[in-house]
Structure 1
Amino acid sequence: MTGDEAEPMLIGDMMTGGYGKGADILHECTIAVDAGQIAVIVGPNGAGKSTAMKAVFGMLTVREGAVRLDGEDITALTPQDRVAKGMAFVPQTSNIFTSMTVEENLEMGAFLRRDGIAQTMEQIYELFPILREKRRQAAGELSGGQRQQVAVGRALMTEPRVLMLDEPTAGVSPIVMDELFDRIIEVARTGISILMVEQNARQALEIADKGYVLVQGRNAYTGTGAELMADDEVRRSFLGG
């Protein structure tokens, strides 16, 4: 294999599927992310963005196609088994334990680990300084943006190879969104692959190495973030002109 043909770190390859025995929501949909890169899934409401992410994480039935992590076929694995293989998923809601402290939330993230976690905890506090400051506070008392940092930090405690984020900036102010995106870039720089679904399509594509525009569960446009931002059709249809 040449460098150009190397298998991505994570790929949902030509996935067709839906929830349980229900109708297919995804139709030959492909989503991939390379090591240490950021891939973003955007598109209109009801396009199947979160469904595509959940399919990659094993939360719905993939009837056709395959999911591979670092070249290994993981299509049949449960979400728990995928976590053990190095995948972490941060859902959009209910992603923290509100009654526990920030530090306890982070400790919960490390439940699968059998080694010392102090070093990872320190790395997370360096990445998210506000969490160190508030580590003794109940996570439920934090602002929306700070809660998202707790959720991402908890996922990072598993030392994942791939971090999956479902609308990480939902409901936060533009300033907080920019800050979260800065942190996400920093996470990717440590070599972790990031796959995220984002409503704030324009801002997300600005930081994306790869972008996927989904429409009705199918790939409508795929390219680098810059290519999609420069595409008149994508801009007009999905980025508000």
Structure 2
Amino acid sequence: MSDSHYLSATGMRGGYGKADILDNCTLTVDKGQIAVIVGPNGAGKSTAMKAVFGMLHLRQGRVTLDGEDITALSPQDRVKKGMGFVPQVNNVFPSMSVEENLEMGAFIRENDIRTTMEQVFDLFPVLKDKRRQPAGELSGGQRQQVAVGRALMTQPRLLMLDEPTAGVSPIVMDELFDRIIEIARSGISILMVEQNARQALEIADIGYVLVQGANRYTDTGQALLADPEVRRTFLGG
């Protein structure tokens, strides 16, 4: 059975040790779509993302990418298949320059990476200005740009972002969301976990509200924002 979604992670059950954090969780993303996972703390949002990326052993469920079953693949092999993952913390090499960070992102590629680097600099012009600077000297928002840029260097078809706007100012958050929209418009699918639920749902084609590792609500971003129950329970009224 071929799955029509570009990414399809269905019936995921798994966790750490004996405890299941994910409870029959399903996430799908189509080509060029922005899918956002929101929900209360401890809902398993980041765990779901790690499961999709192969960092978590699933007891049940399967993950397909572009119709191919990748459930058994390691994260490294998933990157080769077109996944890019930006973790929430430790996502840049602080002592390396911006440019070296981007080069590290392209380590699996054997072809010329200069065009991709130019694309990253077009997307994040501030990185071009600071390309010789150690990433550790940048602001939080700029480091996030380096982390996203580094993931883009592998030319992913699916980009996964774990709380890309954690700890940045509202202005920087809006800027990052604008760039994420731009990335999606270029045909790359986006799956992201986000604490700023309301703002994230505004740019989401599809939104997943997780509670205790299970899908509580799944709908378009707009429909979830308009749902009084979702607003009352998860978006603060």
- TM-score tier (shorter): over 0.9
User: How many Å separate the matches in 2 of 1:22 and 1:148?
Assistant: 34
1:132 alignment counterpart: 128
Question: TM-score if structure 2 supplies the norm length?
Answer: 0.98
User: How many Å separate the matches in 1 of 2:100 and 2:13?
Assistant: 38
Counterparts of 1:1-241 in structure 2 under 5 Å? Answer: 7-19=4-16, 21-241=17-237
Letter in 1 for 2:97: T
Deviations 1:57-113 (CA, angstroms, capped at 9, x unpaired): 001111111000011110000001100101010000000000000000000000000
Name stretches of at least 5 consecutive residues in structure 1 with no aligned partner.
none
The aligned length equals 237
Q: Structure 1 runs of 4+ off > 4 angstroms? A: none
Letter in 2 for 1:57: F
Aligned-residue offset at 1:143: 0.2
Name stretches of at least 5 consecutive residues in structure 2 with no aligned partner.
none
Aligned-residue offset at 1:11: 1.4
Question: TM-score if structure 1 supplies the norm length?
Answer: 0.97
Deviations 1:137-164 (CA, angstroms, capped at 9, x unpaired): 0000000000000000000000000000
Deviations 1:159-215 (CA, angstroms, capped at 9, x unpaired): 000000000000000000000000000000110000000000000000000000000
User: How many Å separate the matches in 2 of 1:144 and 1:171?
Assistant: 7
Secondary structure of residue in 2 paired with 1:17: strand
Contact 2:3 2:64 (C-alpha < 8 Å) held by counterparts: no
Question: Percent of counterpart pairs with the same letter?
Answer: 76
Secondary structure of residue in 1 paired with 2:19: coil
User: How many Å separate the matches in 2 of 1:144 and 1:204?
Assistant: 19
Contact 2:95 2:136 (C-alpha < 8 Å) held by counterparts: yes
User: How many Å separate the matches in 2 of 1:9 and 1:208?
Assistant: 16
Aligned-residue offset at 1:22: 2.4
